[in-house]
Structure 1
Amino acid sequence: MGLIRVVWGSASAPTAMASYDGALADANVHNYNLVQVSSVIPDDAAIEAVGVAPDLGPVGEQLTVVEARQTVVDGRAVAGLGWTTEPSGRGIFYETSGTDSDDVRSDLNQGLDAGQALRDGQFTDRGQKIVTAPSDTGDGEYTTAIVLAVYGESTPLV
């Protein structure tokens, strides 16, 4: 299958969409059209937490992602992505978000446990990334935290 990169970012801006776009820029995936999938990791996949994505192809192409995202006004945005895999590379992602990092961590662990219980297999590896983005300015700005699993490189839309 190839490489799945875990990237993350955060940003504040005067609108919710602008803060989301800024968080995508922080992770270097802002110039792609994101296509979300439901969290299943195929056989032979390798997961690498990189933080900031490298160049993944031409501007405007599509990227397949699993995305955790939280946007708030004058508060704390927390996004978390967890994963568990078998020796073959097959596995699942679980994404959640909120305003408290302990709650997000707990939700990730509970979600991964529940997902594993639904599937046959020997899940041996587990990882997670949680991003907390505080916005304490009180000026009505939006803050977004994101964590994405990016499958491979971009592909053309047309």
Structure 2
Amino acid sequence: MNTIRVVRGVGRAETRMASYDAALAAANIHNYNLVSVSSVIPAAATVKDVKTASDLGPAGGRLTVVEARATTGGVGTVSAGLGWATGPGPGLFYEVAGEDPAAVRRRVEAGLETGRGLREWTFDDETVAVVTADADGGGYTTAVVVAVYGEAESIL
């Protein structure tokens, strides 16, 4: 588990959960059981922004993730933002959901700034990924940005 992949997707469907599943399918992580963790990046990890995951192992496996997710059943816009700050040691993720992509980006950047200030670590790089989707009110729309730690592990 030295690679953390950042993937993203948008999904639309008749139910909230189905739109979420469709967004995960767009990111190619829909066949796994996602286990959310807080937002610390291990020192030995490399973060790669890959947009869509390659095969991460057998269906039904467990994936450790940090996830930004926004869903609406109305008309408008949804935005999910995930930012990461890295350096020679540990790093941080920060996730935000909202309607306005610029506001989501600002909140991610502010969260990373606060997180950096709470730690005596060195941070050399910062990246923010925001996914935005327009919703027409015909069902549900979900936007996700997900950091996937390593590959799927057996859940049994």
Partner of 2:147: 149
Matched, 1:130 2:121: no
Per-residue deviation, residues 52-89 of structure 1 (Å, max 9, x unmatched): 1000000001000000000012221100000001123x
Q: Does the aligned pair in 2 maintain the 1:96–1:108 contact within 8 Å?
A: yes
Partner of residue 28, structure 1: 28
Q: Secondary structure at the match of 2:155?
A: coil
Q: Which residue of 2 aligns with 1:110?
A: 110
In 1, Cα distance between equivalents of 2:47 and 2:123: 14
Q: Which residue of 2 aligns with 1:100?
A: 100
Distance, in Å, in 1 between the alignment partners of 2:4 and 2:122 is 20
Separation in structure 2 between the aligned mates of residue 37 and residue 121 of structure 1, nearest angstrom: 20
Does the Cα contact within 8 Å between 1:94 and 1:112 map onto a contact in 2? yes
TM-superposed CA distance for 1:94, in Å, is: 0.1
**Letter aligned with residue 154 of structure 1:** A
| 1:87 match | 88
Instruction: Report the counterpart of residue 50 of structure 1 in structure 2.
Output: 50
Identity %: 54
Q: Give the partner amino acid of 1:84.
A: A
Output the TM-score relative to the length of structure 2.
0.97
In 2, the alpha carbon distance for the partners of 1:77 and 1:21 equals: 16
Structure 1: unaligned runs, 5 residues or longer: none
Separation of aligned partners in 2, 1:67 and 1:3: 16
Q: CA deviation at 1:123?
A: 0.8
SS where residue 114 of structure 1 aligns? Answer: helix
> 1:60 corresponds to which residue?
60
Q: Does the 8 A contact of 1:79 with 1:147 survive in 2?
A: yes
What stretches of structure 1 move > 4 A for 4+ residues in a row? none
Normalised by the size of structure 1, how large is the TM-score?
A: 0.96
